[in-house]
Amino acid sequence: MKWKKFTIKTITDAEDIIISTLYDIGLEGAQIEDKIPLTPLEKEQMFVDILPDGPEDDGIAYLSFFVEENDANPVNTDEITANIRGELDELRNFMDVGEGTILVSETEDIDWINNWKQFFHQFYIDDLLVIPSWEEVEAKDKDKKILHIDPGTAFGTGMHETTQLCIRQLKKYITSETELLDVGTGSGILAIISLMYGIKHALGTDLDPCAVEAVRENMEANCIAPERFEMMIGNIITDKIVQDKVGYEKYDIVVANILADVLVPLTPVIVNQLKPGGVYITSGIIDNKEQTVRSALEAAGLEVVEVTYQGEWVSLTARK
């Protein structure tokens, strides 16, 4: 089996949002190539203790997407390339995506799903055990709080520092009466964990329609009742219809684990969804963007009440 490979030259700060956006046109399973050094956790997951010195990070990233091709299903490379270019042009309206050139090539078959299993194993986030479907819960862990989640077509397994920062902040602020809004919900991990810890209700928004199925599967895996977690697809930053459906001054907590360049335009919008006194938990912020996001929070009339760090990542928590 052969695959058409579409490779985008971009910048590291835009990796996540481009990958998420291109799900809208059916491109999944991104391969990321950049020069960002591995974190200690990533080295551990790859069974590597010491790496030779690599090239200095230049901020450039290559994102590759693969589309299956056969005689019965020829790939229209011109159409896909045009769709990618259109999505990149839309993103340029509110963020830097770098050069944005697109290279088309061909590659042989790859076992995407099973390749995940080499690297994703059960692990703890404080008292929470995160475990994929292909591993068993050991007897000693039966009484622990357990999140069942698999890597898939939507973001969020709990492995990344930004997700862990959000989880720890959520656990500080949620109560049994919490109404939660999760912007950029991805796999639903933040809302699902909040529901596991006892909040009343959650609503998630995402640009990617694949998030709906990912959330449904993860809800089922963790025995979350459907009425406790709603999903909505759309751009809450620019779409007034989405804003109206989400509702105003309705949420005790809004959590957004995205990127600084998206948090800046999101914040003056999302402040309207928060109840007076409500808490806004942000993450996905690289350390050199901390002041940029802080300024956006303060400009929207929010009070920054806590800043937490993990590795080179930052979470800012503010109150309305």
Q: What pLDDT does residue 46 have?
A: 39
pLDDT at residue number 187: 84
Q: Which residue has the tokens 């920054």?
A: 304
3-class state of residue 257 by DSSP: strand
pLDDT digits (tens, 9 = 90+) for 96-145: 999 999 999 887 655 555 665 666 677 888 888 888 877 788 888 888 88
- Angstrom CA distances, 227 to 52, 219, 278, stand at 51, 11, 23
Give CA angle at 199 (235, 305), nearest 5°.
70
**Nearest-CA neighbor of 192 among 160, 169, 220, 152?**
220
Per DSSP, the three-state class of 254 is: strand
Per-residue confidence (pLDDT) for residue 41, from 0 to 100: 52
Q: Which of 186, 139, 182 is nearest to 159 (CA)?
A: 186
Q: How far is 265 from 46, CA to CA, in rounded Å?
A: 36
Residues 85 and 195: their CA atoms lie apart, in Å, by 38
285-315 tens-digit pLDDT: 988 899 999 999 999 999 999 999 998 899 9
What count of Cα atoms within 13 Å lies in the side-chain half-sphere of residue 115?
7
The predicted model scores a pTM of 0.66
Helix axis angle, 210-221 relative to 189-196, nearest 10°? 30
Could you read off the pLDDT of 3-56 as tens digits, one per residue? 888 999 999 989 888 988 888 788 877 888 887 665 555 544 433 333 444 556
Residue 35 and residue 54 in contact, taking contact as beta carbons nearer than 8 Å: yes
pLDDT digits (tens, 9 = 90+) for 208-249: 887 888 889 889 989 999 999 999 999 999 999 999 999 999
